[in-house]
Amino acid sequence: MDNNEIVLYSRECPICLSESPCQRCVFTGCGHCLCRACAEQIAMEAGVSHKPVCPLCRTHSTTRPLIEMKEIEFDSFNDESKPVYPELLQNLPSPRLEELIQTFLRGEIDEETYIICYDMRLAEEACHRGINGGRPDDVYVEEYKRLMAILPYDGYFDNLAIDAAEATMRMEKQRIIDELRGQDNESGRYSRACGNCSSLFPFHRCVFKECGHLICRSCSDEMKSRSQIICPFCMKESETVPLFEHQIEA
């Protein structure tokens, strides 16, 4: 089929049935996509220690936000991608713990190192509280109460450091979910154009797993014939995965 022949595809999320979500995510292991709010919900329920599971094929996989352009943006397309994640951290006990938890959630330190550092920093806060005339144990009590108010379970905490990371992740994702749900009804029309070859209506598209940029299947196949596959928009080296999209019947 000619890439410039007009074929309509649905943007509807198969989970919540939002007809035109403002942002979508793809499961990089299988290519299924859903609205980002549902993807964040699934990731939140999976927790910090497990990969999310695609609800359509049960593949364990990371998710990646799709970088899509609205039709009115295509003509003025520029290759600089701005991050879509807002700064969301709130209500953590101290800036030092906040920074440590974020470092772990970004994958910059391993779990064992994170737990040791978290315990040390909480102990330092308790010591500082005691030096200033307070009760050192109150630091731990306050942290337990904070986590119990956020996590979907209470009365049992297997590891305070991991629970703190879980709570932070849940706060971040819930904030994103709430914002996205509010934006979905205001979503405009999105372009299917391939930003690499400029074909306006590609029949099949692929997504770069490391960045979320989209190209047509023809460009993806051409790139796979080379020794390296590099995203032409952000220059990240990345594999591509075919995107599952549902054609709207005429």
Please name the residue that has the structure tokens 């019947």: 249
Q: Are residues 118 and 160 in contact, defined by beta-carbon separation less than 8 angstroms?
A: yes
User: Domain limits of the chain?
Assistant: 95-169
**Spatial contact of 49 and 196, defined as CB atoms under 8 Å apart:** no
- The DSSP symbol for 81 reads P
Q: Can you give the pLDDT at residue 80? A: 42
Mean pLDDT score, 227-243: 88
159 DSSP 8-state letter: -
pLDDT band at 88 (very low <50, low <70, confident <90, very high): very low
Q: What is the mean pLDDT of residues 218-235?
A: 86
Q: Which of 82, 78, 92 is nearest to 143 (CA)?
A: 92
pLDDT at 54: 93
| Range among 28-32, 69-73, 173-177, 186-190 with highest mean pLDDT value | 28-32
pTM across the whole model: 0.56
- Residue in 213, 217, 205, 216 with CA at minimum distance from that of residue 236: 213
pLDDT in tens, 207-223: 999 999 999 999 999 88
* The predicted structure's pLDDT at residue 250: 52
Backbone phi and psi for residue 7, each to the nearest 5 degrees, phi listed first: -125, 135
Q: What pLDDT does 18 receive?
A: 85
Hunting for tokens 């910090």 — which residue is that? Answer: 48
Of residues 179 and 117, the one with the higher pLDDT is: 117
Is the separation of the CB atoms in 70 and 189 below 8 Å?
Answer: yes
